[in-house]
Structure 1
Amino acid sequence: MKKIVLILCYSVIVRNFLNIIVGVKFSKSSFLKQEKQFILIANHNSHLDAMSIMASLPKSMIHKVKPVAAQDHFGKTKWQTWLSNYFINALLIQRKSDKDNPENDPIFKMNKALKEGFSLIIFPEGTRGEPNLPKEFKAGVALVLIENPHIPYVPIYLKSMGKAMPKGDNLIVPHESAIVYGTPVKISSDNVTAILKQMKQEIEDLNTRNT
């Protein structure tokens, strides 16, 4: 039932709303069908970001992709946790590592989801920034990839999402926006700094090529 709900929600309702009402343009994502698993990484300026990426996916894959989200924001109550899990398919994690409780550690939870066969959506900036002002990438996504080098990451540039739904504003306004996919990449290094630098450059390159 959850699979059907997610497919209808994102491939029909959310996608059409974003495209027709908000003005979001979706680039082709059918190439993802060739990948068994992947980690989607993107810049982060709006609460529309995760929903927009979910709506851009091939509908047959939507239920197998989990957006990684902060538990202290999207899981404050049991009801909110249920909504996030059922309608967003979110993987709720703590913002910081938890050495005393390994099973609550964010890296552990992301690795566990990958071992269960899910793909992930990760925003390496960790929190929403200001449009066109990218923040430094946090190490988590690189650490997950180092432990799962067989899984490629796919860079995504989200254009003008922060203007369609600005940070601190719950109002969605029409604004020409876009989701631009890059190509799948497998890491060739176990150096966290080098991996994050490459990711950031690839997202910036997508921005440059589509402005």
Structure 2
Amino acid sequence: MKKIVLIICYSIIVRNFLKLVVGVKFTKPTFLKKEKQFIIIANHNSHLDAMSIMASVPKSKIINVRPVAAQDHFGKTKWQAWLSNYFINALLIQRKSDKENPENDPIYKMNKALKEGYSLIIFPEGTRGEPNLPKEFKAGVALILIENPNIPYVPVYLKAMGKAMPKGDNLIVPHESAILYGQPNKISSLKVDSILEQMKNEIEELKLKAE
């Protein structure tokens, strides 16, 4: 039942709303159908980001793709956490590591989801930034890839989402925006800084194509 709900929500309702009302241009990442698992990494400027990526994912993959989201924002109550899990398919994590309770640690929870066969959507900046002003990538995504070197990551550039729904504003306004996918890739280093630099460069290349 949850699979049907997610397909209807994302592939029909959300996708058509974003495309026809907001003005989002979608590319079709059909190549994702061939990937057993993947980790999508993208820039982050708006609460529309995860929804837009989920709406672009092939229908057959939606149930197995989980956007990583902050528990203190999307899971403040048990009811809100249930809604985020059921209708968004979100993987709720704490913003900081928890050495006293390892099972609550964000890295542990993301690794657990990958071991269970899920794919993830991760925003390496950790929080929404201002449009065209990228924040530094946090180390977490690199640590996940180091522990799962056989799972490819997929760079994604989200153009102008922050202008369609700016940070601090819950109003969605029509604005020409787009989702651009790069090709699946695997890390070429086990050094955190090198991995982050590799991903940033690929997203920057997608940004240049979008301009």
Same fold (TM over 0.5): yes
**Aligned residue in 1 for 2:82:** 82
2:76 aligned partner, one-letter code: K
Query: How far has the Cα of 1:210 moved from its partner?
Result: 1.7
Given the alignment of the two structures, is residue 112 of structure 1 paired with residue 112 of structure 2, yes or no? yes
Question: Partners in 2 of 1:8 and 1:74 — Cα distance?
Answer: 21
Percent of counterpart pairs with the same letter? Answer: 82
**Aligned residue in 2 for 1:52:** 52
SS of 2:59 mapped into structure 1:
coil
**Aligned residue in 2 for 1:141:** 141
1:121 aligned partner, one-letter code: I
Matches within 5 A, 1:22-37: 22-37=22-37
Q: TM-score, normalised by structure 1?
A: 0.99
**Aligned residue in 1 for 2:159:** 159
Superposed CA offset, 1:49-70 (max 9, x none): 0000000000111010000000
**Aligned residue in 1 for 2:15:** 15
Question: Partners in 1 of 2:28 and 2:89 — Cα distance?
Answer: 22
Matches within 5 A, 1:188-207: 188-207=188-207
Superposed CA offset, 1:72-119 (max 9, x none): 110001111011000000000000111111100000000000000000
Query: How far has the Cα of 1:186 moved from its partner?
Result: 0.5
Question: Partners in 1 of 2:200 and 2:155 — Cα distance?
Answer: 9
Question: Partners in 1 of 2:2 and 2:171 — Cα distance?
Answer: 27
Q: CA RMSD in A?
A: 0.5
1:119 aligned partner, one-letter code: S
Question: Partners in 1 of 2:194 and 2:116 — Cα distance?
Answer: 28
Query: How many residue pairs are counted as aligned between the two chains?
Result: 211
**Aligned residue in 1 for 2:43:** 43
Query: How far has the Cα of 1:209 moved from its partner?
Result: 1.4
Question: Partners in 1 of 2:75 and 2:12 — Cα distance?
Answer: 26
Question: Partners in 1 of 2:78 and 2:94 — Cα distance?
Answer: 15
SS of 1:13 mapped into structure 2:
helix
**Aligned residue in 2 for 1:126:** 126
4+ long deviations beyond 3 Å:
none
SS of 1:28 mapped into structure 2:
coil
Question: Partners in 2 of 1:84 and 1:111 — Cα distance?
Answer: 20
